[in-house]
Amino acid sequence: MNDRRTVFKTLRDLSIRLTPQRILILDILRKGNTHMGVEEVYSKARTTFPYIDIATVYRTLNLMKKIDVVTEVAIGERLHFELTHPGRKHNHMVCTCCGKAFNLPPEYLERFGEQIHRDFSFEPDVRNFTIKGKCSLCAEKSEKSDSTYECLSP
The residue ranges that bind a copy of itself (CB under 8 A) are 74, 93, 95-96, 102, 104, 108, 112, 115-116, 120-125, 128-129, 131-136, 139
User: Among candidates 67, 4, 78, which has minimal Cα distance to 36?
Assistant: 78
78 binding partner (options a copy of itself, DNA, none; Cβ < 5 to 8 Å by kind): DNA
Determine contact, residues 36/81, Cβ cutoff 8 Å.
yes
Among 9, 18, 137, 143, binds DNA (CB under 7 A): 18
Nearer of residues 22 and 80 to a copy of itself, judged by Cβ: 80
Determine whether 40 is exposed, middle or buried from the number of CB atoms within 10 Å of its CB (0-12, 13-18, 19+). middle
Q: Apex CA 114: angle with CA 111 and CA 120, to 5°?
A: 135
Nearer of residues 74 and 116 to DNA, judged by Cβ: 74
48 binding partner (options DNA, a copy of itself, none; Cβ < 5 to 8 Å by kind): none
Nearer of residues 19 and 145 to DNA, judged by Cβ: 19
83 membership: H or E segment, kind and range: strand 79-83
Among 27, 32, 58, 149, binds DNA (CB under 7 A): 58
Among 27, 32, 34, 38, binds DNA (CB under 7 A): 38
Number of residues that bind DNA (CB under 7 A): 25
Nearer of residues 4 and 111 to a copy of itself, judged by Cβ: 111
Determine contact, residues 54/95, Cβ cutoff 8 Å.
no
Round to the nearest angstrom and report the end-to-end CA distance of the chain.
Answer: 40
67 binding partner (options DNA, a copy of itself, none; Cβ < 5 to 8 Å by kind): none
Q: How many CA atoms lie within 13 A of 52 on its CB side?
A: 25
